Structure 1
Amino acid sequence: MNFNFLEIITSSMVLFAVIDIIGSIPIIVDLQKKGGKIEALKATLVALGVLIAFTFLGQKLLGLFGVDISSFAIAGSFILFIMGVEMALGIEIIKYDGPSGVSIVPIAFPLVAGAGSFTTVLALRAEYAMENLIAAIILNMIFVYIVLRSTDLVERVIGEGGIHILRKVFGIILLAISVKLFMTNVAIQIHTLFPFLKEAL
């Protein structure tokens, strides 16, 4: 295995922005009031298992539809861009349904391991080594566990203003990363379709 610290940090930040567990604290608190105590360990382990399974099997699933990972990454970059716009501007573009439940549904799935994180891990696979991506997922799940264990404390310490600022900052980061992801994978597609351009450039 060839771990790359920079890749781990970069992919961790992308996943952190997409999962947005800090921004989800008000939702978690509300679910806690309605559904009782959240089992932090169970929710975290389920989310971790789902994300890792999708990281390994997602590409094969795409293959069934004849889609390569760089094409999926381009599509994923649009989703990340929209999510970044939502976070940075404080608007809602993607509509979410809120199923009832607590630890497994909707905390583990789809709040932590959902469409956004599925798209992200597959998109990141096009750019980063598998071991670094897995390390990034594990780091994020450790953070998710800590937040779920101490939701009330985090809410009191950061406050609504702090959560608002974090969403804005990570929204801008997400926008920048989505643009980079788009440009990198468009270049791959161009070189695949027109190999002579690679030599010319």
Structure 2
Amino acid sequence: MRQRNKPWADEFLKEHNQLIIPNPSEHKGKWKELFGNDHPIHIEVGTGKGQFIVGMAKQYPEINFIGIELAKSIIVSAAQKVLETESDQSNILLLNENASDLREMFDINEISGIYLNFSDPWPKNRHEKRRLTYKTFLEQYNDILIPDGSVIFKTDNRGLFEYSLVSLNDYGMKLEEVNLDLHDIDDPTNIMTEYEEKFSAKGQPIYRLKARF
């Protein structure tokens, strides 16, 4: 989906650099210092407009959350959502970065949980390496996660979900949850993304898996 250009985005990023952190590699291994506490850190790769991460931060104030989004026009929307919320959102930071190698931003065993929500399915075979559940990405997750850390993946794309199940299994990950219709179970702890609301309203099944290394 093409995003509308926001000419004010650069200035917004500069004005809110305590929320949208520049040069994240400088904080590698020191993210807890930036949050000012020793709480576990969870990251969302592809945070979109921020509905999920804001909801999670409200629901789990004892966890720190970092949202990563490459599109500048979208990360500013996520930041606005954080700033507009009435509750304390000191447990959220955002990164306007490419997540091609998370090890440049996070140290070994620094992260406790990873969320992959409605990632680009990259359906063509020649683009397999771009899928966020491809083995080279799994290697990164394995490195930055604590030993008992989890990867939680949601999508509306059955093909990508089936591919991911195979990829994670081949990598030797333990699948703790495989859900072919998330909303059928009425999970009160599930925080929906913008895409999830849109697709589920049309009756589209939402698939979710949870796995550990």
Classify the TM-score, shorter chain: under 0.3
Please tell me whether Structure 1 or Structure 2 has the larger radius of gyration of its CA atoms.
1
Superposition TM-score, scaled by structure 1 size: 0.26
Superposition TM-score, scaled by structure 2 size: 0.25
Q: Structure 1 or 2: larger strand share?
A: 2
